[in-house]
Structure 1
Amino acid sequence: MTPDLTEPIRLVHELHDELGLDMVNLTMGNPYATTHVTRPFDFGKYEPDEHPFVGLSRMIHGIGAVKKAVPEMTVWASAPTYLRAYADLFSAGAVEQGLLAFADPDFANEIVKNGRIDPKRVRLTCGKCGDLIRAHKPTGCVIRDSKTFMPFYKEFLEIKKTQPANFRG
C-alpha cells in the first residue's frame, strides 16, 4: 500500500512558502497509538504487526518523497534510529538530536574519532525512554545507563500499577 502524500506535501509547501519555516520533523502514524509505525522496534512492549524494516522503508520513501517535492525544506524523521550503529550512514543531518543520543551521548565523537558508532552503545528501541518522557521523569537510556535512569523507571512502574490498563505515563 502506497500512502497518499498529497496533503503532507501541500502542508510542507505551505509551511515553507507561506510561513517561512525552513525545517520540519515528519513522521507517519501516532507514536502513542502505534509506536512501531513511528519508531520501528524489534524489542518492546508488544509484538509489532510488521517487521521493523517495513516501517523504516515506509518512513524513508514517504519522507523522501516530501523532501524531493520541497527540496528547500530541511526534513527530519523519527524512524532512522532503528538503524542503530548505521544511522550515521543514512541520516547525517538529524542523528545528533534523536533518541540515539539517549543511549550513547558520545556517539558523534565516536564517529569522528573511530569512523563509526560503537554497536554496543546504540539505542535498543525498547521504549523505556519514551515511558520516562511521558511520565515527565528525567530521560535517558534505562538499559545503557541503568544506574542513573532505572530508579526513575521503577517510579514510573509503581505509578503505572495504580492507573488504568491503558495508562502510558
Structure 2
Amino acid sequence: MLGLIQLSDPVNYRRLVRIRRPPGSDEAGKARAAREAWRAIFDFIVATSGERNAALGRAGLTPNDARTLASIAPIAEGRSMRSLADEWRCDASTVTWIVDRLEARGLAERRPHPSDRRSRLVALTPAGKKLWSQIERAMYRPPKGLLELSERDLRAMRDAVMTLPTESPRNARSSRKVR
C-alpha cells in the first residue's frame, strides 16, 4: 500500500512523498489494492475485446455461444447440460436455449447419457469442433499490450491469476489450461 508522509525541506515548504508499507499491513489497504487490481484487469479486458468480439461476429457466435463451445470441447463424450448450468450458476433453461441455437447451426448435438436415462449430454459435432478450433485461436491470442511485458512479468501474472479461486464450483487451476 502507498502511504503519505509530510517532509519539510530547507526552504520550509511541505512535500508529499509516497512510501511503501509492507504487504498486508492493513486490511483496508489490501481491499483497495484488490479493487484497483480488478479494475485494471477488467478495463484491460474490455479495452482489448474488439478483436475477440470481431472473430465471434464473423463466426456468427455470441460470447455465450463461445463459452458453451469452450466448456464442451475438451470432453469428447460431451457434458451434461445440468453440469453446464451448475458451472455457470444459471438456470437449466438458459443452457437449453444456448444449446438449441448451437444445435440448429449443426455445431452441437444432444446425446443420451450412457448411465442416466433422465440426463442428456451435449457434445460438439465435427463442424462445431472445426469452428471452435478456429475461434479458440482468436479468443486466446494475447493482446498486443501483453507482449510489451517481460517474460518474467507475464509468468508472474499467469501464476497469480491461476491461483485465484473462481466463483464456479470448479477450481481455477483445473478449469484453465496453460497454453
TM range (shorter): under 0.3
Query: Which of the two has greater strand per residue?
Result: 2
Normalising by structure 2, report the TM-score.
0.21
Structure of higher CA gyration radius: 2
Normalising by structure 1, report the TM-score.
0.22
